[in-house]
Amino acid sequence: MLRIFFFIALALGISSCSSYRPAQDDFHKSLVGPYVLDSGDRIRLIVFNQEELNKEYTVDQSGYISVPLIGSVAARGKQTSELSKMIAQMLSNGYVRNPDVSVEIVQYRPFFIMGEVTTAGQYSYVTGMTVQTAVAIAGGFTPRAQQQTVDITRQLNGKILTGAVNLTTPVRPGDTIYVRERLF
């Protein structure tokens, strides 16, 4: 009887040490939704026939870009099409007659990788990236790495979500990947 109690206690102890938290449904839905801008994204603004307004902007830490004539424009949380319409509306208020505005992404915000990888840090995001690609960019796993799942922290609709995912899971710009140490 004592032996059975010991094994039950051991099983409960090991399971409570596990940090595995499967990712929520909203976490995976963010992979198929439209891309929204955030701090660190670099965009190109094109206002046709207005060469002095055509240039690249980086979304600052506050989520704004500073456009000549109209000043600060909130870009965080907006799709490029929404930002185009908003800038066109602001420019049409006495600055440019019938502005034709286009916004495109030049460079996505970086992703971060920490934990049991050779070179943890901040890296440029590449379209179509998976966790496995991100680990390769960071120099691969260390010998102590848990190589089946990793934790990804992602901001979604103003909430910060963390979940355990496998290596084939797509990475989004701004994600923080944490590779855990294996127990044995």
Predicted local distance difference test score (pLDDT) of residue 8: 54
Which domains does the chain show, CATH number per domain? 20-33+109-179 (3.10.560.10), 42-107 (3.30.1950.10)
**Distance of alpha carbon 159 from alpha carbon 47, whole angstroms:** 34
pLDDT of residue 72: 94
Q: What is the full per-residue pLDDT of the chain (184 aa) written as tens digits?
A: 555 554 455 444 444 444 445 556 666 666 677 889 999 999 999 999 988 889 999 999 999 999 998 999 999 999 999 999 999 999 999 888 999 999 999 999 999 999 999 999 999 999 999 999 999 999 999 999 999 999 999 887 778 888 889 999 999 999 999 999 988 7
Q: Which three-class secondary structure string do you get for 96-157? A: CCCCCEEEEEEECCCEEEEECECCCEEECCCCCCEHHHHHHHCCCECCCECCCEEEEEEEEC
